[in-house]
Amino acid sequence: MIPLIPTRILGMGSFVPPNCVDNTELSKRVDTSDEWIRTRTGILERCIAEDDQATSDLAFEASVSAIRDADVRPEEIDLVIVATITPDMAFPATACLLQHKLGLGKVACFDLEAACSGFLYALDVADGMLASGRYSCALVVGAEKMSSILDWEDRTTCVLFGDAAGAAVVSKKGKGPELLGFQCGADGSDPSLLHKPGGGSRMPATSETILKREHFLKMNGREIFKSAVRVMERAVRELLDKHSMNMKEVDHVIPHQANARIVESLAQRLEVPIEKFFCNLDKYGNTSAASVPLAIDQGRKEKKFTTGEVGILVAFGAGLTWSATLVRF
Ligand code: UT7
């Protein structure tokens, strides 16, 4: 099952806006408390972009670092995929805006929308496109300005999310961690579990939709919590089965950073010590598609992953979507 020539991560980068807001500060804005947020989620603070900063600006900063880290020339990149649910605008794609900002060639660019699983979906898609031989070097980005779609009057959601971007340069030529396998899935039976209903073709923007706050993220937190644990466990087990591996052979799990209790439940269900899980959600909250690349980038900068070790990246998100990726550092 392992591809003959695996795709490798040649370099990575990430960016969080400097304005960090802790729980106590947030509790001045909405009816919440540091104690509630900390004990129910593990989040202590999150970073919020400036009003004039859009998702492509966050993506740009992360991409510049990733391209530098990969030591590739910008003209070598011939594919750009941006995973996001908070594009700069409905169209054109944020990937096209990013291409221009970075001064890349007139190469293929598109956005991919799989919510918090988006970055891992994008790695899977990039791997397939590289395997076709028609592309040789891809910039894969997960970037979100979640603060732009949060209802700052809804304490059940606004305390959970933050803004960030993470980027990877991937290719089948060169050196770096190998992507050994992918497992993506989705269940579209109940979109209302986590959605932003307004602004699409089903509910175009009107003054009424704005008054009803339909342009903000809405979530059934309890149901998402239960599904998250179930689908991430299944994705990890299916991925390992495909590769005739077991959890004992996995050194690190880098999960989507939504809630510390979700991570603990996943660890219990997979019967893996929590120490194997890399978490940074205390600092950044849930940054959706940016969450996994931001975590990998931070982990590698802290030298948590040793060459040759095996990791599983796993995420879930609106859709519901889920995705797991096997990596050898
Ligand atoms: O990337 C995917 C994104 N989504 C997620 O990963 C979210 C998954 N779900 C969760 O993380 C959890 O369900 C939440 C953190 C959202 C909520 O935690 P919970 O333990 O499931 O709380 P709950 O929704 O059952 O609410 C418990 C109580 C409620 O009050 P009552 O009805 O018991 O009186 C809420 O109104 O907590 C109240 N509450 C709050 N209180 C203070 C909800 N949000 C807050 C808040 N501050 N921010």
**Is pLDDT above 90 for 2?**
no
Q: Considering the candidates 47, 96, 109, 116, report the single residue annotated as catalytic.
A: 116
| Residue 55 CB neighbour total at 10 angstroms | 29
Is any atom of ligand 1 closer than 6 Å to the C-beta of 221?
Answer: yes
Q: Is residue 116 within 6 Å of ligand 1 at its C-beta?
A: yes
Q: Tell which phi-psi region holds residue 239, choosing left (phi > 0), alpha (psi between -120 and 50) or beta.
A: alpha
Answer with the one of 135, 150, 176 that is the final residue of a domain: 176
Whether ligand 1 lies within 6 angstroms of the CB of 265 is answered as no
Instruction: Write out pLDDT tens, residues 175-194.
Output: 999 999 999 999 999 999 99
Q: Among this protein's residues, is 20 annotated catalytic? A: no
Helix (H) or strand (E) holding 11: strand 7-15
pLDDT digits (tens, 9 = 90+) for 130-176: 999 999 999 999 999 999 999 999 999 999 999 999 999 999 999 99
For residue 71, what is the DSSP state?
T
Rounded Cα distance between 224 and 322, Å, is 12
Round to whole Å and give the CA distance between 132 and 17: 36
Ligand 1 centre from 38 Cα, in Å? 11
Active site residue: 137, 158, 256, 280, which one? 256
Burial of residue 86 (CB within 10 Å: 0-12, 13-18, 19+) is: buried
pLDDT in the model for residue 4: 80
Same domain, 171 and 194: no
Domain holding 309, by residue range, is: 180-328
Residues 114 and 186 placed together within one structural domain of the fold = no
256: annotated active-site residue: yes
Token digits for 10?
């040649």
Nearest to 59 by CA among 110, 13, 124: 13
- Supply 118's token pair: 């988006």
Q: What share of the chain has pLDDT > 70, as a percent? A: 99
Ligand 1 center–CA 180 separation, angstroms? 36
Does 100 sit in the ligand 1 pocket, CB within 6 Å?
no
- Point out the ligand 1 atom lying closest to the alpha carbon of residue 291: 1
Residue that is written with structure tokens 């992918």 in the block? 182
Question: Alpha carbon 56 to chain centroid distance?
Answer: 15
pLDDT digits (tens, 9 = 90+) for 215-244: 999 999 999 999 999 999 999 999 999 999
- Within a domain: residue 128? yes
CB 159 near ligand 1, within 6 Å: yes
Query: Where would I find the H helices in the chain?
Result: 23-26, 34-41, 55-70, 94-102, 118-131, 155-158, 207-211, 221-242, 260-270, 281-284, 291-301
Residue 1 has pLDDT above 80, yes or no: no
Specify the residue with its C-alpha closest to ligand 1, atom 39.
156
pLDDT above 70 for 3:
no
* Residue 318 Cα: closest atom of ligand 1: 2
**How sure is the predictor about 57, in pLDDT bands with cuts at 50, 70 and 90?**
very high
pTM surpassing 0.95?
yes
Residue 96: active-site member:
no
Nearest CA to ligand 1 atom 29: 156
For residue 41, the CA-to-ligand 1 centroid distance in Å is 9
Q: 254-311 pLDDT, tens per residue?
A: 999 999 999 999 999 999 999 999 999 999 999 999 999 999 999 999 999 999 999 9
DSSP conformational letter for 161: B
Confidence of residue 83 (pLDDT cuts 50, 70, 90): very high
Q: How far is the centre of ligand 1, averaged over its atoms, from the C-alpha of 144 (Å)?
A: 22
Q: Are residues 241 and 313 in the same domain?
A: yes
- Give the Å distances, CA to CA, from 79 to 104, 107, 126, 202, 211: 10, 6, 8, 31, 40
Residues 277 and 298: beta-carbon distance below 8 Å: no
Would you call 70 helix, strand, or coil by DSSP?
A: helix
Counting the structural domains of the chain, the total is 2
Give the Cβ contact number of residue 276 at 10 Å: 16
**Which two tokens mark 4?**
């003959």
Using an 8 Å Cβ cutoff, are 103 and 52 in contact?
no
At 267 the pLDDT is 97
Domain assignment present for residue 285? The answer is yes
- CA 208, chain centre distance (Å): 32
Question: Which of 225, 261, 286, 292 for a ligand 1 pocket mutation test, highest count of atoms within 8 Å of Cβ?
Answer: 225
Instruction: Find the 227 Cα to ligand 1 centroid distance in Å.
Output: 15
Q: Give yes or no: residues 17 and 49 share one domain.
A: yes
Indicate if 241 and 100 belong to the same structural domain.
Answer: no
Looking up residue 206, the CATH number of its domain turns out to be: 3.40.47.10
Domain boundary among 118, 142, 176: 176
Q: Is 317 in the pocket of ligand 1 (CB under 6 A)?
A: yes
Q: Per the domain annotation, does 2 fall within a domain?
A: no
Contact 80, 104 (CB under 8 A): yes
Q: Is 172 close to ligand 1, i.e. is its CB under 6 Å away?
A: no
- Shared-domain flag, residues 231 and 128: no
Q: pLDDT band for position 108 (50/70/90)? A: very high
Q: Are 89 and 124 part of one and the same domain?
A: yes
The reply to whether 214 and 228 lie within a common domain is yes
Test site for ligand 1: of 28, 29, 146, 156, most ligand atoms within 8 A of the Cβ: 156
